[in-house]
Amino acid sequence: MKTDIGVTFGSLGVLGAKKVPEIAKQAEGMGFKSFWTVEATGTDAFTLLGAASIAAPKLDLGTGIIPMQLRSPTLAAMSAASLQTINPEAQIFLGVGVSAPGILKQHGLTATDKPIRMMREYVALLRECFSGESITFEGDYFSTKRFRLGLRLEEKKPKIIMAALNPQMLKLGGEIADGVLLNYLPASHVGYSVNKVREGGDAKIFAYVHASVSEFDKAQTSARKDLFNYAMADGYAKMFKEAGFGDEVAELREKQKIKDREGALSAISERMIQAIDFIGTKSEVRAFIDSYAKAGVDHPVLMPMPWGEDREKVALETMQAAMSPDI
């Protein structure tokens, strides 16, 4: 059975928001199933998806992710429902997650010490919003009184996708969400994550697949910088260790403590790069994406890493590789 593959604009912000309609149309023409955006401190996710929906109406649309601390559940439901009514035939994937403390700080917010409880409330209220009924909800983090979504949804409604990293959040995603989105996860660790999701339920498995059709020698520095940023975040560092990259993370952090940035970047091995931020030829990139499907991902979402002098060219070649015939 053919695997549906999505693509995200999340790694392509360097091309500019005005490129979204063009890239979405190209993605539709190549045969991608879905188009995703991200939200942090730059463009907001829903504006870009609205533009993509008009340019490429056959694409399903996903936020991957919006931080739940930045949008109330009622506002997130309104935004997702608006996209759904613009294109009733598309499937809207409302991807939500816990944002990094550094991002929240820029918005004047602080991270919760109980993300599991907060996420459970958020998703519960989202589901009630999509019911179309008048709802009153009183939780520890979110509340609303007699809210009714002022849009009539047809048979197809937005699906709730939870970003998850640690075992508790993975299990919660399986229990309460329609899908779970994995990120910066090597294919070798997908099985472990899927098993944790299955402890909670039967949510569909999505995963960002990071790849670039580039020459390794030319792109490796960009990959190291990318992985460095995530290895400095505790949640991702723990996951990298569990996936077999504990030595790299330990050395990287030790070097960073003494402000040896070059040493920290050098600590990231070629093995780690090629397991998470893959660099290779078109056929190799296609095989890399396939490895996620074989590992248990239902819907891989390509994150084309635009590493090269002509970033747009690299992005498009990487997209083409993803949709080339099965190897």
> What CATH number did the domain enclosing 16 receive?
3.20.20.30
Query: What percent of the chain has a predicted confidence (pLDDT) above 70?
Result: 99
Name the pLDDT band for 101 (thresholds 50, 70, 90).
Answer: confident
Q: Are residues 138 and 51 in the same domain?
A: yes
Cβ contact 212:281 at 8 Å: no
In a domain, 222, yes or no: yes
What is the average per-residue pLDDT within 177-203?
98
Q: Are residues 230 and 95 in the same domain?
A: no
Q: Are residues 133 and 219 in the same domain?
A: no
In a domain, 189, yes or no: no
Q: Are residues 99 and 219 in the same domain?
A: no
Reported as a single tens digit per residue, the pLDDT across 221-274 is 999 999 999 999 999 999 999 999 999 999 999 999 999 999 999 999 999 999
Residue ending a domain, among 138, 163, 188, is 163
Q: Is 327's pLDDT higher than 50?
A: no
Cβ contact 180:197 at 8 Å: yes
Classify 146 as helix, strand or coil.
strand
Say which residue the tokens 């709730």 belong to. 160
Number of domains present in the structure of the chain: 2
Q: Is 193's pLDDT higher than 60?
A: yes
Q: Are residues 147 and 215 in the same domain?
A: no
In a domain, 181, yes or no: no
Q: Are residues 153 and 214 in the same domain?
A: no
In a domain, 177, yes or no: no
In a domain, 260, yes or no: yes
H-type helices in 89-156, by residue range? 101-106, 115-130
Name the pLDDT band for 1 (thresholds 50, 70, 90).
Answer: low
Q: Are residues 109 and 218 in the same domain?
A: no
Look up the domain containing 310 and give its range. 209-327
Reported as a single tens digit per residue, the pLDDT across 110-155 is 999 999 999 999 999 999 999 999 999 999 999 999 999 999 998 8
Give residue 326's pLDDT.
59
In a domain, 201, yes or no: no
How far is 174 from 164, CA to CA, in rounded Å? Answer: 10
Q: Are residues 34 and 122 in the same domain?
A: yes
Q: Are residues 267 and 139 in the same domain?
A: no
- Stated pTM of the model: 0.97
Q: Are residues 41 and 152 in the same domain?
A: yes
The amino acid at residue 318 is T
In a domain, 104, yes or no: yes
Reported as a single tens digit per residue, the pLDDT across 36-84 is 999 999 999 999 999 999 999 999 999 999 999 999 999 999 999 999 9
For the record, the structure tokens of 202 come out as: 């039967």
Give residue 100's pLDDT.
86
How far is 181 from 93, CA to CA, in rounded Å? Answer: 10
Cβ contact 259:295 at 8 Å: no
Q: How many CB atoms lie within 10 A of CB 114?
A: 11
In a domain, 199, yes or no: no
Give residue 325's pLDDT.
80
Residue ending a domain, among 130, 163, 196, is 163
Q: Are residues 60 and 129 in the same domain?
A: yes
Residue ending a domain, among 163, 188, 223, is 163
Q: Are residues 159 and 222 in the same domain?
A: no
